[in-house]
Every structure is written in structure tokens, then in C-alpha cells.
Structure 1
Amino acid sequence: MKNNVTTPALLEKYFPLSAREKADLEQVVAVHPMNIPRYYLSLIRPDDPNDPIRKMCVPGSEELIVVGAMGDTTKDPYGDDKHDKGNGILHKYSYTALVVATEYCAMYCRHCFRKRMVGLSNDQTVRNFQEASKYIADHPEISNVVISGGDPFLLPTDVIKAMLESLKDIPHLNYVRLGSRAPVVYPMRFFEPELLDVLRRFNREKTLFVPTHFNHPREITPEATQAVLNLREAGLNVHNQAVFLRGVNDDPETLTELMNDLVRIGINPYYLYQCMPVARVRHHFQVPLKEGVDIVDRARQQMDGHAKRFKFIIGHDIGKLEICGRVDDKLILKQIHARSEHPEEASRMLIRQLTDNGGWLDDLPEVELA
């Protein structure tokens, strides 16, 4: 990881940059750091200026855009701040606690919805995991924990072991998730026997899941496939949470290939997230919902039952909303999770009027289906 590409000067050794590109890059990384493993950099096709792998890891001048035709942007579209219980704990849903274990990742993805904090010192990460586990133990309504970040697999193995050990004996905790993009961008982490042994031992006591984050079929390399196999052979379940991204996977053929390839290597397609309206992300990565719902439907027509199990999701401040489809120009959504302060909103249906540019729930007026 010490050899990651973190500056425009280092990037120039791999890709020629014009003076303007370099100046824009310097401006972007001053706000949102760059961090690219050389492994992931090797997946880029340097002769393709629109390469989807490059779009996800190399900063671009588009990140300087904070307003535009897509609508407003925000720093916190998922409502992390208002559900922050301190010491890295976000308690949005009564039954789930999310622990932000670190602000660091193996790679700083350009579409990240926590872009405001990843790679930057902040107060929203865990400082004392024993206290975090005490909060979880003191709330019997919590049935599962998500350890996220940043990327928890960037922590030392002994730290991961201690975190898991502190959760092992909480009786009302059914399972734990370790959310990570490391199998995609730095799969070599999962070639380490010590780490795999820690995960295997914990999984014997309490079920452990790894939700990962493949967005494009070219990310499913032999190395990534082996990393996933190592996790599966340790007994873990691996799920995938992709993000629907302009210029990366916004066509039926790419989405179909991605989901089929995930199933082929033993990963369960779980969520496809609508790109959030994050500042310096929305205006070059978000696909309008009117266009996106049709792309996803056409892709699903080509998939078998296992590949199409994923839910197309808006991760909104009010909770998680499944995008079910559309009737003419009316978008049909079902709320599948609601905030703990509004439990009555779970499982309700929402109908919104599609517009040409609307990419988020707040952009679409409420309408009746009839």
C-alpha cells in the first residue's frame, strides 16, 4: 500500500497528463485525496480516454463541478450525521448498527458517497471499539452490525480480530457484516492466512458476511476471483453492492455481464444503488431515473434467476427504497427499511412523476398512480 499512486506527479509516470489536466488534478486532490493501488491501475486501458476503470479511480476535472443540470448536491445524502451516536456508531435502523471503523480505504473511489470523510481525519470513526460493542450490547433491538468505513480490512489483522471478539458473545446479535471494496481493488489482502483464519474462527461462532463492491465486469480478475474463493472457503458469504454509474455500467450489456460474472464466482448480487447526489459526484456519475429504470429492466430480461436477485435501490435519508419499475412516466418504489423514528413508513409504496433529468427521490413530484 505504500506504493499506491497518491499524487499527480506519480500518476504521470503511468499516464501522460496535459498541463490543464495536471492543474485540475492538483485542485481536486487538495479537496478529495487520490489513492490508487498499482494493481487496480494495471486494469486501466491507457489508450481509452473513457475507460470505466479509470473513471472510478483517477480524479477528473468533472469533480470541480458542484452545481449543474442534475440538481442540488449534498454532503450527506444518507443522513449519517443525524444518526451519529458518537464513537463511530451510526444507528439509522433499529435492528442495524453501523460502525465506521476507519476513514482509510485501499483506494479512494471517485464516486464514493462518503467522499467528504474518506482519507481525511474526522470525528465519525470509531475511537474505542470496546465502547462501541457496549453500545450494541446495551441495545437488544440490534440484530446485526455492519463494520464499514473507509474499509475495515485496511486495519491490521489483530485489530480486526479484537473487534470481532468484542461482538462474539452478544446474544441478540445474529450476524456481522464487514463491508469492503478490498476484494476488488486490493485482493491480495485476502491471500493472508492469518486474516482468513481470524474470519474462519469467528464465522464458526457467529455468521459473518462480506458485502463487497464490484461495479464493472473487468474488475472480476483472476486475483479478485481467488480472493473471493478464499473468503468462501473460510465459510463466509460474499454479497455485492454495486453502484449504478454513468460511463461505467449504465448499459444493459455491461450490467448483465457484471451480474452473471458475480454469480459465476460465487457472489450473490444484493443491491444496485442509484448514485447518490453527492457534491462533486452527482453531475458526472448519476444516471437520470427515467433512463436508468429502463436500462436495469432491459438488463434483467437477459439474466437468469440468481443473477437478477439484486434490488435496485435508493439509499435515502428516510430509509432504503426499492425501485420496482415504472408505469408510463410514473416511478413505482417500495420502502424496504425505515428510520427507527418512523417505523410506520416501512413497506409503504411511493409513486413519483419521472422527469428527464431527475436522478433522486427529491427531484420527482409526488403523484397518484391512477
Structure 2
Amino acid sequence: MKPQYAPPGMHPREFIAFIAALMAVNALGVDLMLPALADIGRELSVTAANHRQWVVTVYVVGFGAGQLVYGPLADRFGRRPVLIATLLGFVGASIFAASSATFPALLGARLLQGLMSASTRVLSVAIVRDGTSGRQMARTMSVAQMIFFLVPILAPSLGQVLLQFGPWRFIFYALGAFAAFVLAWTLLRVPETLPVERRVPISIANLRRSYALTLTNRYSIGYALAASLTFGGIIAFVSSAQQIFVDEFGAGERFTILFAICAGAMGFASFANSRLVERLGTRMISQSAVLGLIALSLLHLIVIFAGAETLVSYIILQALSMTCIGLCGANFGSMAMDPVGHIAGTASSVQGFITSIGAVLVGSAIGQSYAGTTLPLAIGYLCIGVGVLAIVLVIEGGQLFKARMVPN
């Protein structure tokens, strides 16, 4: 097995830990306040329970939109300046959220948080792609995601602990503090990974060429679209998790543990992927996972229509579905970046925008359909699996489980 890549001056383990921490800024931004949604709704007079989901959804909208900007900026000025500026902005947005007096003001702060955290997705991919590609990139990202997926496991519990010491506003101060920690790490330890000679001036012509290449290469656009559907499944689960566990199953006191079980399945998937991807390949693993997701969704629908859905059946099927989704994420991202590595920043921006905005549309459609049962989630996951399979078949010329040389 090849050694892990790391920039000069950093040990591979520190580099992977840094990438995981960078990705965790965004994960905490989504998951840390889940236990506080009910408190936020009560204090800020949110009358409809489904409207509380917008605290998550608006954040992801900003996260998607911001990615269009940071790639070209990072390709022109380097990774470090963009990362430093946006981490500072995230700290400021977190303070703004903590001081919000109305629900619209909080949503505005969440949108700003998402806009700032968008750089973490673009730059984590671009920084890794600066030094590696293909299966090696997928392995590096999988190891980072394995650590990163501990965040969704721990975040609701951490949020619950913070609520024991103060109001929901403490959660946003904690978000700002973590972003400040990652900022200090960047300033002290992380070198610039994009050499001056590889930087691309910002111009309409260059952007047009980069966007055209990213959007017309079938591997780049196809796997970005596939990733948007699977990410939408995560958004749907996260945004409706509290309602499902608390309102439908009456398991509010065990919410953080049950959420951790489902989120932990993605961490297991990333660990397995990091061990297997260089031997089995990105296509074999991700395509098998898509077929698994379809089969699990059909089984879930059978359980629901048979009137046999329980908390135990839901946890088992949801955790297995999240495992399949976790096996798709890093592999789809790596395959999407393969043909566009020479414009990694801009390509990551465009792909990230497509993935995030598509995920918001998919996840919101499923989450807002919640009406007291898990049926919308099961139907949504089936549609996601079938949609991803259709996209993959188009990308791969109707063939599955075949390794391919990807044209640049």
C-alpha cells in the first residue's frame, strides 16, 4: 500500500487530521445544533415544526452557492489566503447567529455561515488533489472522512452537553471557537500547496474554459450529479432526524445515541473504503453500494406497508442505508475530479455547487414531506438509488463494475 501524501513540513497523519478538521467545520455547522432546534423554535416563535428544518437547509444553500466563488479565487491566489479569510468570516457569522433576536435574522446568519464554510469543501478537495489523484486520492479522502464522520456521531451529544450549561446560543459560540482553532492550525502549520507557476489568472475566458471543461466532461458532471443525490439523502435524514426519533418513535431521551448509530455507519463505510479502494477500485465499491441502497429501500418499503416498522427496524435499515451512502461519497468525488485535476480549485467549486444545491433540493423535498411516518424517507432513498444508478449507467456506457481509463 502506498504511503499517504502530505505537503512539505507536515506528517501524513497530521495532514489527514487537518483535512478532517477542515471538513468538520462544515459538519459541526450542520449537526451541532440539532438538539437545540426545538428550543430555537420556541424562543424565536417558529410555529410549524417542519419550518425548523430551514436552520439546516438554509445553511446548505449558502454552502452550495459559496463554492462557485472560492475555486477560482484559490486557483488564482493560492489555497491559504482564501482559507484564512473564510475561516475568519465563519467566526464572525457564528457570533452573528448567537446574537440573533428573530428567526429571519438567525436564518440570515446561517446563510452567511454556509457561504463561509463553503471554502472548507472546495479547499479540502483541492489541497488533497494538489498532491495526489485517483485511488490514492480516494484513499486519502476516505481516511479523512473516517475521522470526519466522528463529528456527526459526537456533534448532537456535544450540542446536548452545551445546552446543559446555557441556552442554544452557546452552540454558535462553540462553532466560532472551533473555526478559530482550525484557523490557528492553518496559520501555524499548513503550507501553500499550489505553486505560483500553476496559478490561473481570473478572467472571463479562463472561467469559461474551466467551467465548460467541468460541465461537459461526462465523468466530472456525471459523478457530481450522482454525489448530489446521495448527499441529498444525508440532508433529508439530518433535517428530519429529530422529528422521526422524538415525534414518531418517542425516543427523545435517546436521540443523540440513536443519531450516532446511524451517522456512525458512514464512518464505518469510510474506514472500509480506505482499506479496500486501492484493491477493489472506486467503481466496484460505489456501484455495489448503489445497488445495496436500492435493495434496502425496497425492503424498508415492504416493512412499512406491512405495518411492521419499529424503532429497531428503522435504526437497522437507516444505518445500513447510510453505510451505502458513505461508500459512494469519497469515490464519486474522486472520480469526478480525475479528468479535471489541472483546474482542481475551479472544478471543485463547480462540482461542489452542483452537489450541494442538488442535495438541498432533494433533501428538502424529502424532509418537508415528513408527516409523522418514515415513508417519505424510504421512498426518497429508493428514488435516490434508482436515480444514481441511471446516472452511473449513462456515465459508464451502460456497463457496471468495469475499471476505465478516464480521459482528461
Greater strand share, 1 or 2?
1
Q: Same fold (TM over 0.5)?
A: no
TM-score normalised by the chain length of structure 2: 0.24
Structure (1/2) with the larger helix percentage: 2
TM-score by length of 1: 0.26
